A and B are shown apart, each in its own frame.
Chain A
């Protein structure tokens, strides 16, 4: 048997880094994968079981490899308005926003979640592989402003609790409180329960700071918990103990199938520096209405070249999934020219049929369009469908 892995391995990691939760994962029997130079859990036992647990109950993910970059100073908001595609000055303290770091040429250098943690403080969460680039670009772009950039990634662990049981597990876990006299657990529970999607608040776990955000990358309700690396194992164990049979540790394999069902792009697959936001369906993320210049503005206003391919969702029947790199056709004939390329594909564990994201010629992007996927020499019929493939009830 030869194994063609279609996961996100870096074939030549320059170095290997381990998560602060590495010992916990090893004790849990995880198998590991190299991801952007990090040894991270791929799965613990069954990626399908982990996927279903997140949809039906809850899963616990270690995302400590992601980058956390702080932008701090009186002009931090203005600096980010210039550096990123979104209008970050418009978000309130405790609010998060999905944004893009654009190249001057209009392509995407990274997709990010930005939290406003104070009037003059923002935390930019970057993909692990792009951490250094994002920190470097932010430093360059914010240099004219009264703002400092600190790459805090090494001092921040990230645990994601995702799934419909997340709130119950979070609020039942002992040790949480809010800063201030009494470190009140009832306050914590109330704030967590009232927290809206893409909002966050500062809390404490065993008297250590933890930033609690109602965000995620799975299409489910859930929380992302930012905290010091040395506290992460204690929090992980506490959540696991409280969660009991409602909660399973989940690896990057499940994370990938979950995000794909939810139609969420993955950097390096759906997004790269050659791709304009509008092609990826992210035109709304670019705040063209905001005042002033921002990096990439001229290029995105001009738009991608005519006929540039656009991202669509494809659904097929049967069990054979198209994978990244497979070609898309509008004709079953063997001599037809390719009209698109798959960027991610999987047999959807929740839906039971293959789904894929693909860039196709713009005239083929309408939902309902019948296309064909070349799955290792066999043309499999597929249909353009609206994204996301899966929406939680």
Chain B
């Protein structure tokens, strides 16, 4: 597919912005299309952006209504003779002049304030006359608190998620490609039955077999163990199907030539077929990484111990445990989404074309 968005050489900005293929004139359907797509841009993207921005707000800023777009925090000032930094307020004086004062304490509707330039004199100001001075402030401590809080448990969750994703994907790739190799490059009795029984599992929704799957995992002694979520997910029928279709296009002469040279069957598979299948392997890998990283129901059922939680489980349990601590929750939401957002930027082309090619048989 040609990339339409690529700028052609030596175009002015105006020409580029109105660049069109073929026809010269824009008609109303084009405008409607752009209107729809920009509306889509707003609806699809701003929610995520909003969470990312909000994760940099201080708890006080988060509870504000109506919410501010950018993160703000009350400005503080260190005054001689006081250990703690004091919050700064803008005060309208009796003469109508505004001054910036630091608040010492608040008593009822009166506040004791001092002028940072002249710390000796105390001024009593009605609270209504004072507005806090605010500045743009990115509360990065939300993230540092998250990373260090409760003994750095988040690193454990991150490790669990990464371990499950990496190991399950590696096993999936090896196992599926072995099966695909057998089903595409050999003629043997029972191959049809094997293929059908693998593909038949496509029709079985994971939730329908949730209880027996849990039972088998429990019988293997893997409840609360990361392997308990890895093993049930490794044999994906789509992976076998995709790889088999791809391997069918690799010429058999290659295999025969290797057999002439006394290569073992495994060597043929590992050294010849697997490297040649790398485009299909990449697609299967992306699918597997996506679904393992985002998996929720099976880990929720199997990973009962807190130490075995994945990021997704920890995030979901955060919501109930620290329901009020939105700053931590939002920081963790952003952190959980971040790896995939980066992966997406680099792999967008593969992912979208890969899905397009697997959706239609």
B and A form one assembly: no
Chain A residues proximal to chain B, CB less than 8 Å = none
